[in-house]
Amino acid sequence: MSYKKISIDELHADKVFCEFREISKEGKGPLIIKSFDLDKIGEVEPKVKEMVAGDIISVYYEQMGTRLPHTEKQWLDGKVELLSEADQEYLVKLIDRACINNEFDYLNAPPSVDEQVEDFIKEFFDEEEKPLEKRDFLEEFFAELDDEDKDADKKE
């Protein structure tokens, strides 16, 4: 038996929250909680973004053991409806992939140094002005030294 919960919150946090806990006669396993930025997981799993498209502000699924799951899709105007069977199956698989298989953990990894530099450049420099010039400063330095040596040889 297990406990599974997922919440896609597009209105307040732009996050996807997943929870999973295995429950047996021996006791309860650890509660595994994962959260992901909606845009990041939406790039990998476009259906997540589709589920909260338009006036839909949140999707919620929770199943405790063998009880019937609690599901809802909330609209901006306050309307609430149940999730379809297909959406429920998709969300259960998504919880397993996120909490058991750890498939989306890389989405929460800190950006690499290269990504940080790219973000900095995008934030502070207009890329349309002109492309960045690539220069090999060491090569230029040694070329200048060679030129100086040649000029010194000519004077002697």
Residue 121 φ then ψ, to 5°:
-60, -45
Task: Using 50 as the pLDDT threshold, list the residues of the chain that sit under it.
Answer: none
Residue 58 φ then ψ, to 5°:
-160, 155
Sign for the pseudo-dihedral over CA of 49, 97, 44, 125: positive
pLDDT of residue 144: 86
pLDDT of residue 85: 95
pLDDT of residue 116: 84
Alpha-carbon span 49 to 75, nearest angstrom: 14
User: How big, in percent rounded to 5, are the helix, strand and coil portions of the chain?
Assistant: 40, 30, 30
Do residues 16 and 58 touch, judged by C-beta distance below 8 A? Answer: no
